[in-house]
Structure 1
Amino acid sequence: MIDQVQSSWRDYGAVDLPVPLRAALEAFVEHGYHGTSVRDIAARAGLSVPGLYHHYPSKQSLLQGLLELTMGDLLRRSEQAIIEAGDDPLAQFDAVVESLLRFHMYRREQAFVGSTEMRSLDPDYRPRYIGHRVRQQRMVDEVVLAGVASGVFETVDPKGAARAVATMCVGVSTWYRADGELGPTELIERNLDYARAIVGYRRRD
């Protein structure tokens, strides 16, 4: 069962973004990066185009600013979840999976833009963004490798299994709905079972 004691990495309130980034997020979700104009973002933000440029000098800077805040939040939550889980590999695994699932449910739109608009990133920024994603994946890799080393997980392909688990969690952002059939707790518990199966966890009573 999920630990019901709430930690800050589990705490999600309303999305707290600067007004221009909130407007950009709404527009990118609705129309995609290339289908969105700066004028549309400015109008959503209640700013003139020159006023928007005072804060963000280009549409690309809006996308990059949004992704930096998104990845910073995701990485902080994942790191905190693993630290709070202690030294047990299974507890660490459950924590990082739960953290990823929660993020991709409660920050679904930000995660969706982060996944779909990599193609729209300027070449100078792309390596930095990829580095954030690699850092997140390595957290999952290291937890799974530790579980295999301790005999908790039986997968013969730890990194492949870790990638599959992360991909499953990220995919939640494409279909999760707050009014859907499964509530958050049930969805997390079911997907934790799936994730444990991927890494070859066998309960030892």
Structure 2
Amino acid sequence: MAGQTRGTKQPSKARSEETGFGFESDPGADWRHYEELKLSPFLEAALEEFGAHGYHGGSVRAIANRVGVTLPTLYYHHGSKQDLLVTLLMGSMHDVLVRCRHALEEAGERPADQLANVVECITLYMTHRRRLAFLDGEIRSLEPENRERYRAQREELSVMLRRIVADGIEDGVFTTPYPSEAARAILSMCQAAATWYRPEGPLTETEVGRRYVTIALDSLRFRRRGGKTKAS
């Protein structure tokens, strides 16, 4: 099947647990396109509060005040502050994974094309949805069971990149002597875009994505057909 890395099955699509909370629907083949995300009032208020004060510094009462409801009303919709954080993190991870699966499928069989699409996809998500993506740092605030659930989802991105890199090494188009470290560095680079990117800056989300693709291929010492590395 086009877009699958060799020797592996494409992961089954996770069902969104956030129906009705305002997370995006499956973008299908249009994974590069982003509309304004309109979260539920409770999640938007929690995102603002956690973004301003962190999870531990954020107050459930302050979240309720941002929405203009009483605490019992907030707790009726979300049982705890932890539930708000879990919903935001899992919803965000679901959305980026769905987009990356489409990007991988669209790329076809060539590892370089797969790598380019997945790197662009992750970077576009981190820049377009940077407020949500920035919450990844709050994984330390998750309770153990919730942390394991989230890590299992997040690991899919890492596995996706490692498999692409391994296929490229096998094909001889990626020639780095450090494939594991390179794959880890590429993912970290993409994720870090959420911490520094600002739309009012000199680069658009699309430009950052394209530049990161070039950097990723260079770090893998991509060898074009004909024998020259991309950096040559």
Does TM-score exceed 0.5, indicating one fold?
yes
| Residue 196, structure 1, aligned to residue 217, structure 2 | yes
| Residue 27, structure 1, aligned to residue 27, structure 2 | no
Q: 5+ unaligned residues in a row in structure 1: which ranges?
A: 1-5
* 1:46 alignment counterpart: 68
Choose the corresponding residue for 1:118, options 131, 139, 146. 139
Choose the corresponding residue for 1:93, options 107, 110, 115. 115
Using the alignment, how far apart are the partners of 1:158 and 1:16 within structure 2?
A: 39
| Cα root mean square deviation, aligned | 1.3
| Residue 181, structure 1, aligned to residue 202, structure 2 | yes
Identity across the alignment (%): 43
Choose the corresponding residue for 1:130, options 151, 163, 185. 151
**Local SS of the residue matching 1:32:** helix
Judging by fraction of residues, say which structure has more helix.
1
Compute the displacement of 1:197 (Å): 1.1
Compute the displacement of 1:17 (Å): 1.8
Q: Kindly provide the CA deviation profile for residues 16-54 of structure 1, in whole angstroms up to 9, marking residues without a partner as x.
A: 322211111111111100111101111112221110000
* 1:145 alignment counterpart: 166
Provide the TM-score with structure 2 as the length reference: 0.82
Are the equivalent residues in 1 in contact too, given 2:61–2:71 (CA < 8 A)?
Answer: yes
Q: Kindly provide the CA deviation profile for residues 91-144 of structure 1, in whole angstroms up to 9, marking residues without a partner as x.
A: 110000000100000010111012x10111011211111111111110111111
Counterpart mapping for 1:75-86 below 5 A: 75-86=97-108
Compute the displacement of 1:203 (Å): 3.1
Q: Kindly provide the CA deviation profile for residues 1-26 of structure 1, in whole angstroms up to 9, marking residues without a partner as x.
A: xxxxx942111111132221111111
Using the alignment, how far apart are the partners of 2:111 and 2:38 within structure 1?
A: 33
Choose the corresponding residue for 1:103, options 125, 135, 138. 125
Compute the displacement of 1:182 (Å): 1.5
Which segments of structure 1 move beyond 3 Å, counting only runs of 4 or more? none
Q: Kindly provide the CA deviation profile for residues 169-197 of structure 1, in whole angstroms up to 9, marking residues without a partner as x.
A: 00100100101012223222221111111
Using the alignment, how far apart are the partners of 1:43 and 1:27 within structure 2?
A: 11
Using the alignment, how far apart are the partners of 1:183 and 1:135 within structure 2?
A: 27
Using the alignment, how far apart are the partners of 2:111 and 2:99 within structure 1?
A: 18
* 1:36 alignment counterpart: 58
Using the alignment, how far apart are the partners of 1:54 and 1:172 within structure 2?
A: 35
Provide the TM-score with structure 1 as the length reference: 0.93
Using the alignment, how far apart are the partners of 1:159 and 1:188 within structure 2?
A: 22
| Residue 74, structure 1, aligned to residue 96, structure 2 | yes
* 1:3 alignment counterpart: none
**Local SS of the residue matching 1:24:** helix
* 1:172 alignment counterpart: 193
Using the alignment, how far apart are the partners of 1:16 and 1:7 within structure 2?
A: 21
Using the alignment, how far apart are the partners of 1:14 and 1:94 within structure 2?
A: 25
Counterpart mapping for 1:7-26 below 5 A: 7-26=29-48
**Local SS of the residue matching 2:56:** coil
Are the equivalent residues in 1 in contact too, given 2:31–2:102 (CA < 8 A)?
Answer: yes
Using the alignment, how far apart are the partners of 2:146 and 2:85 within structure 1?
A: 11
Q: Kindly provide the CA deviation profile for residues 138-157 of structure 1, in whole angstroms up to 9, marking residues without a partner as x.
A: 01111111111111100122
